[in-house]
Chains A and B, each alone.
Chain A
Amino acid sequence: GAVVSQHPSRVICKSGTSVKIECRSLDFQATTMFWYRQFPKQSLMLMATSNEGSKATYEQGVEKDKFLINHASLTLSTLTVTSAHPEDSSFYICSARRDRGLRTGELFFGEGSRLTVL
């Protein structure tokens, strides 16, 4: 089956530092990947759509300079939280859509990354 791997699963950092989270599709190519943020006991909130070879598309209210997205290859997208602050602490989840195959509408999710900013 389709596998998406996310790293790191947990990260603790000091306020003001930057943190990079990687999302990889392990057994399929994904031109498009998505980044979500999830607060405790809430649903997933789409932050941005990552497009290989072009700029990411951000949802309304999401600061593009704060959350830098780079989709350098067909299997890798990265999210960098710049100058992190405690309010950025959250569970970040990526997902990828298979480029080819019968069920291209399905999204496969990474394991999530829990960011804690002290």
Chain B
Amino acid sequence: GQQLNQSPQSMFIQEGEDVSMNCTSSSIFNTWLWYKQDPGEGPVLLIALYKAGELTSNGRLTAQFGITRKDSFLNISASIPSDVGIYFCAGPRVNAGNMLTFGGGTRLMVKP
């Protein structure tokens, strides 16, 4: 089936550093979504990508939809303590009513 492989699984960085995480799949996705989940909360949509090659920014966050449509990355620049959380990539399953498939998540920890 369509699976998303997300890496790294976790990151522990110093405040101010840049962060990069990515998702890959053996299948093509037509949409890539990036969510952040704070502890005890539901995921919040950060960035949505709809076109291959698309590069989109949201404040200090930048995400790109890979040309092959099989990968996407999310960058966070100049990290701050409130960036702590779990970041998930997700994509609608093809021919499955847009049900989302989620990556395994990247747990980000920021040291002040």
Residues of chain A at the chain B interface (Cβ within 8 Å): 4, 6, 32, 34, 41-44, 46, 49, 91, 93-95, 97, 103-112, 114
Contacts and interface: CB of A to CB of B under 8 A. Distances in A.
B92 A105 contact: yes
Given A109-B43, A111-B41, A49 B99 contact: yes
Nearest to B88: A43
Interface of B: 31, 33, 35, 40-45, 48, 50, 88, 90, 92, 97-100, 102-105, 107
Given A49-B97, A105-B98, A44 B88 contact: yes
Contacts of B40: 91, 112, 114
A93 B42 contact: yes
B42 A107 contact: no
A32 B103 contact: no
Contacts of A91: 40
B11 to A, nearest CB: 14
A49 B99 CA distance: 8
A107 B103 contact: no
Contacts of A42: 104-105
Contact of A34 (B33, B100, B103): B100
Contacts of A43: 88, 102-105
A13 to B, nearest CB: 18
Given A44-B88, A111-B42, 15 more contacts: A4-B42, A32-B97, A32-B98, A42-B105, A46-B100, A49-B97, A49-B99, A93-B43, A105-B33, A105-B98, A107-B45, A107-B90, A107-B100, A108-B45, A109-B35
